[in-house]
Amino acid sequence: MSLILFDLDGTLIDSEIGITQTMAHALRALDVEPPGQDILRSWIGPPLHASFPSVLGEDPARIDLAVHHYRERFNEIGWSEHVVYAGIGELVTMLSVRGHRLAVVTSKISDQARRIVDHLPFGHLFDAVYGPAEGVRSSEKAALVA
């Protein structure tokens, strides 16, 4: 059978609450008022180093500090603040039963992504989880898929 790749955020799970609350936390830790929910929602998906400059400017040290604050909260609680989309568990199970190999490819750090996938009721059906390693600033999806 074939290999089927899934994204994590916005495909398997609705992670808006965890991600946007954690982004807001990171900005507040730097005494910056976070933008509105619509802006924070638009940051879901792209790497943090691509999103934070729109509010923090192009100061690499400040962006790195925001990412650090983000990762602290995300590792503590943000990773678990998500909802599995209705029907996705049944879909994943059906594809697995039909003999397809399943994997997750995400721009989320691989250790974080693995933790989330392992926590899903159907997470054991995925053969692999691909994401950038800790400390990687760029996570182009095409490179991860390759």
d(CA 52, CA 119): 28
CB 51 within 8 A of CB 24: no
Nearest to 88 by CA among 46, 123, 131: 123
CB 89 within 8 A of CB 122: yes
Q: Is 97 exposed, middle or buried (0-12, 13-18, 19+ CB in 10 A)?
A: exposed
According to DSSP, the residues that pair with 9 across neighbouring strands are 13
Active site (catalytic) residues: 7
